[in-house]
Structure 1
């Protein structure tokens, strides 16, 4: 099996689970946050919707600077409707799946570097970075979003098994 063939089922599962969580984000609660240091719900949901786009970026480049000293900045967060977030997520998820499906095994071995302000934060193979910076990162923030849903009394969908709301 190729690396892409091994990654795609996991990606598909995580994307489907993530979409179920994003579908539950309530419109009109975008400013809500559980703690003053926390992201507002709309910003966390937008981050979750955008994370799959890192796959296509990783597969087409060998580095990214998330805060370049003299370059373009990443777009900030806005408050969007759930429908808008789902549309962005669906576009990003389809592109991510295509980028992995079209990759050769050698593409996953290429060193990939994450920088901030020109300083190297991390360099690993694309495969390792896809696992940590995309998949694991997506799961982490999706779980945070699940906690936000619980705290605003929105039923939490199944992720890796039943929740108090579903799957009993």
Structure 2
């Protein structure tokens, strides 16, 4: 349902996209973790872990005003999961934290600036609501799309995300 609340619209979109992302992650075969479709590509497991770790990064947009990639004390994701069960548990944990923080936020808070930078080099300086949409949701959806290509190349049925996939017809 449409609402004029930026925060509520982001939450609704997040709810949908998290459900779809989990469906893709459930199909990632850990036994093929090292698979790469190209030498410049991330491995299957690196990509799946990145998709999950982006949730913690997205939470920073809600809970902080900036993130410096050069800050050695900045929050970092935990160690690389060593099984699909660990990956899904981290996904569920990070999803719950992101939802909780976004639910506790407000439309007014979504207008506050978030600056993403590497020292003096500013990568992104926009309102938090925009940061969540562009660097958060869009970034995650992009990598989830890459993950579905890996699944296709490995001949693993791809779930339909916005309607049925070729595997579901």
Gaps of 5+ in 2: none
Q: Does 1:88 align with 2:90?
A: yes
Q: Which moved more, 1:8-17 or 1:53-62?
A: 53-62
Q: Is the 8 A contact 1:8 1:100 kept in 2?
A: yes
Q: Is the 8 A contact 2:28 2:151 kept in 1?
A: yes
Residues matched between the structures, number: 165
> TM-score if structure 2 supplies the norm length?
0.91
Instruction: Tell me which residue corresponds to 1:60.
Output: 63
Whole-angstrom distance in 2 between the partners of 1:109 and 1:140: 24
1:25 to 20, 23, 28: 28
Whole-angstrom distance in 2 between the partners of 1:118 and 1:146: 36
Structure 1 segments, 4+ long, off by >3 Å, are 72-79
Instruction: Tell me which residue corresponds to 1:39.
Output: 42
Whole-angstrom distance in 2 between the partners of 1:86 and 1:79: 9
Instruction: Tell me which residue corresponds to 1:4.
Output: 7
Whole-angstrom distance in 2 between the partners of 1:80 and 1:117: 33
Whole-angstrom distance in 2 between the partners of 1:95 and 1:157: 25
How do 1:106-121 and structure 2 match up within 5 A? 106-121=108-123
Q: What is the Cα-based RMSD across aligned positions, in Å?
A: 1.7
Q: Is the 8 A contact 1:46 1:77 kept in 2?
A: no
Q: Which moved more, 1:156-165 or 1:52-61?
A: 52-61
> TM-score if structure 1 supplies the norm length?
0.91
Q: Is the 8 A contact 2:81 2:87 kept in 1?
A: no
SS in 2 for 1:64: strand
